[in-house]
Amino acid sequence: MRTTHTPQPQLGELGIADIRINPRSRDDIPQLLRGLQYLYTDHKLRAELFKILEKLTPSTVDPLLGRPGMLGWQILVMGTLRLNLNCDYDRLQELVNHHRIIRQMLGHGLCDDEKEYNLQTLKDNVRLFTPDILDEINQVVVNAGLKLKKKNA
């Protein structure tokens, strides 16, 4: 059965809120990761996101049979990177296998250095991040941004 995230951190895994992302970087990857970090650390927003991410399991899949799929949070992080960077699956594979902060955002700890994502695994899972799901997530993000702007005004 596909889950959205693992509530119990693994050995050496940093909590999403504890990941240090360079606030001065002008590159787009740290900016995306900081946005995802904000969404994850706000409990209400996270609950809304995870409710949407539950739709990532195709209706043709029996959740009680087979091996568990990739976590919904991981698909969200990878799908967001792929769409915002306008990158192909080869670049995405390179990023998720070798970029330390992205790996931390995916929930990998010290013991997961050997864990790598195969190209076909990425294709099979990230394609579940459909435009419809992205639209629902965008609505949550826009509403959160409007509330944040009103609070800071």
Quickly state the pLDDT bin for 74 (edges 50, 70, 90).
Answer: very high
Distance CA 107, CA 40 (A): 12
- Indicate the pTM of the whole model: 0.84
Q: Please calculate the CA angle 52-48-151 and round it to the nearest 5 degrees.
A: 140
Q: Is 123 helix (H, G, I), strand (E, B) or coil?
A: helix
Res 102: pLDDT:
96
Separation of CA 134 from chain center: 12
Decide: 89 and 96 in contact? Cβ < 8 Å: no
For the chain, give every domain's residue range: 16-152
Predicted confidence (pLDDT) at residue 107 exceeds the cutoff of 50: yes
Closest CA to 125 of 81, 87, 76, 83: 76
What are the tens digits of pLDDT across the range 129-152?
A: 988 999 999 999 999 889 888 887
